Amino acid sequence: MGAALAALAAPLFKVLLMYCLHHILRALLLLLGMASAALAGPYEEALPKFANDSYADTDAAIGAVASSGNPLAVDVVEALRDGRLLIGSGQVFIRRSSGELINAATGQAWGSPAGELKPVRINNRLRRAIEAALGNLTLLSPDAGRRLEAARAVFRSRDEAVLPTLEKAIAQESQAHVRNALENARAAILLSQLDALPMQRLGAIETLEARGDQDALALLSNLPPDATPEMKAGAGKAVAGIHTRLALWEAVQNVWYGISLGSVLLLAAIGLAITFGTMGVINMAHGEMVMLGAYTTFVVQEIIRAYAPGLFGASLFIALPLAFLVAGAVGVLIERTVIRFLYGRPLETLLATWGISLILQQGVRTIFGPTNREVGTPAWMSGALEVGAMSLTYNRIAIVVFAFSVFAVLLLVLRYTSLGLYVRAVTQNRRMAGSMGIRTNRIDALAFGLGSGVAGIAGVALSQIDNVSPNLGQGYIIDSFMVVVFGGVGNLWGTLVGAMTLGIANKLLEPYAGAVLGKIVLLIAIILFIQRRPRGLFALKGRAVEA
């Protein structure tokens, strides 16, 4: 019995011993492994690759750092994206936005580095890798905004490896729009994943159909080759549905683009509606007033940048009254020194104002140089608002609102102020107005100044969408005359309707005829229209016509 027991115990003991040994060994190995990880894990091994200044090495390093699980990984990848990852003497540093230097390997502050530091260079391929890596790393970030960004990045990268994290993120997400973005990302991955369940992949098609934008369309129309007939049918239906929806939005979008172009035309033409429309002066220097307004904006911004950078967001509002004053003053000057001697002689006025426009252009060229000047866009005017399947850019929205406000104010000024009353009186019957005691000379100068000032205001707005160069005005002068003549000389409402009609017609034609032909078609249409109705859309009737 004892022998038998011993015989049984021996192998048991052996097994037990082996088991223990194995565990001890494993523990030891693990310890060793941890120790070596602390010394040279994937993170530490990857870091020096950044210093090689080779795109391929940087790419490999991004992947290794992102998957290392090191708490500094997010910082490193973000710093790389923003050009704050620096290399020098074989070491890698992160520069915090506060300017503080950190050793990327240890996470400790680094006082003064020896030698020159230069940022790690990145190109577009690396930017995509960074975006994907950051997406994977920040899916579980406590900040909802970053989670949303991450979800969008994963939607684009469609990295299958991140699926488990994504599932976890969806399960614990509390905000509906972030969850929606996360689910979209999951659908995009599942759609092309070969070993996903058919049910899941059909569900993915439904999710993408609900998303219904061009990205979804791209995914659905490029199904992977292993797609089942059900998937193909589902995707086909979804694609058709999205197409109809997008076509509808595209029509709306074209109308919006038309309104936006129309408001630019309105802004450029509204000053001319006063100088040419009501005063009858063919002012070829009108475009240069717009240019002066734009340059005023530039000067204001330069001063703000130098002395009060905090006010930059308000720079356009500060520039508005100044642009009005500058352009208006130049307008009054031109009227007093040149135009007043030429009333009633349209050809001479045309030539004289054309000469003035050349003088102003060359003057600005001499002072500010022939190259474009940079007018910054305040943060509140950058970016776009997503409405359905179209994006409305904030600067265009601002310009539409602004154009209509200027129009309204000008209408009120002409209607309800004494200056407006005098201007209308002088326009309708100069001699009678003079006999009533109105100083017609002064009114001419003021009205010309008003028209020029409004052109200057337009320049502030146009500096946001066009070049600020001495040629700025040239691009608008023909369009402005077209709008005023088409709308009907002497009528502000005509200018509004004319600008909007031309803008919308142009933008509706452009997708079909192209930008060049579209413009030609429009010009021919206007020529034909003027043949039929020489006085434009809203012709003045009665005595004013003969005056």
Q: In whole angstroms, what is the distance from residue 150 CA to residue 163 CA?
A: 13
Helices (H), 387-491: 394-416, 418-428, 430-435, 440-462, 474-487
Which one among 36, 200, 371, 405 touches another protein, defined by CB under 8 A? Answer: 371
Binders of another protein among 148-187, rule CB under 8 A?
156
217 binds another protein (CB under 8 A): yes
Region of 121 please: left (phi>0), alpha (psi -120 to 50) or beta.
beta
Whole-Å CA distances, 114 to 50, 76, 91, 124: 18, 21, 10, 31
First to last CA, the chain: 137
Cross-strand partners of 94: 85, 102
Which one among 203, 212, 331, 376 touches another protein, defined by CB under 8 A? Answer: 376
193 binds another protein (CB under 8 A): no
Which one among 24, 109, 401, 515 touches another protein, defined by CB under 8 A? Answer: 515
249 binds another protein (CB under 8 A): no
Nearest approach in angstroms of CB 127 to another protein is: 5
Binders of another protein among 395-434, rule CB under 8 A?
395-396
Helix axes 214-221, 229-272, angle to 10 degrees: 150
- Closer residue to another protein (CB): 175 or 221: 221
Cross-strand partners of 287: none
Which one among 143, 167, 206, 374 touches another protein, defined by CB under 8 A? Answer: 374
Which one among 363, 370, 388, 534 touches another protein, defined by CB under 8 A? Answer: 370
Q: How many residues belong to the site for another protein (CB under 8 A)? A: 59
Whole-Å CA distances, 533 to 111, 480, 490, 539: 78, 18, 15, 9
123 binds another protein (CB under 8 A): yes
Give yes or no for a contact between 332 and 306, defined as CB atoms under 8 angstroms apart.
no
26 binds another protein (CB under 8 A): no
Q: In whole angstroms, what is the distance from residue 46 CA to residue 64 CA?
A: 6
Region of 429 please: left (phi>0), alpha (psi -120 to 50) or beta.
beta
Q: In whole angstroms, what is the distance from residue 480 CA to residue 275 CA?
A: 12
- Closer residue to another protein (CB): 275 or 301: 301
**Per DSSP, which regions of 77-131 are E strands?**
85-88, 91-95, 101-103, 118-119
Binders of another protein among 252-291, rule CB under 8 A?
253-254, 257, 260-261, 264
Q: Which stretch binds another protein (CB under 8 A): 3-11, 18-26, 358-366, 406-414?
A: 358-366
Q: Which stretch binds another protein (CB under 8 A): 117-125, 338-346, 401-409, 534-542?
A: 117-125
Which one among 267, 320, 460, 468 touches another protein, defined by CB under 8 A? Answer: 468
| Chain centre distance of CA 366 | 32
Phi, psi of 102 (to 5 degrees): -130, 140
Token pair listed for 408:
């309204």
Say whether 198 sits in a helix, a strand or coil.
helix
Q: In whole angstroms, what is the distance from residue 357 CA to residue 350 CA?
A: 10
Which one among 52, 165, 377, 428 touches another protein, defined by CB under 8 A? Answer: 377
Q: Which stretch binds another protein (CB under 8 A): 3-11, 193-201, 381-389, 526-534?
A: 381-389
Which one among 296, 469, 491, 501 touches another protein, defined by CB under 8 A? Answer: 469
- Closer residue to another protein (CB): 272 or 492: 272
Nearest approach in angstroms of CB 55 to another protein is: 8
Q: In whole angstroms, what is the distance from residue 378 CA to residue 266 CA?
A: 23
- Closer residue to another protein (CB): 275 or 469: 469
The contact pattern for another protein, residues 311-350, with x = CB under 8 A and - = no contact, is: ----------------------------------------
Nearest approach in angstroms of CB 183 to another protein is: 20
Which one among 75, 183, 288, 466 touches another protein, defined by CB under 8 A? Answer: 466
Helix axes 418-428, 440-462, angle to 10 degrees: 110
Residues engaged in binding another protein (CB under 8 A)? 55, 83, 121, 123-125, 127-128, 131, 156, 214-215, 217-219, 221-222, 253-254, 257, 260-261, 264, 361-362, 365, 369-374, 376-377, 382-384, 390-391, 393-396, 465-471, 474-475, 507, 510-511, 514-516, 519
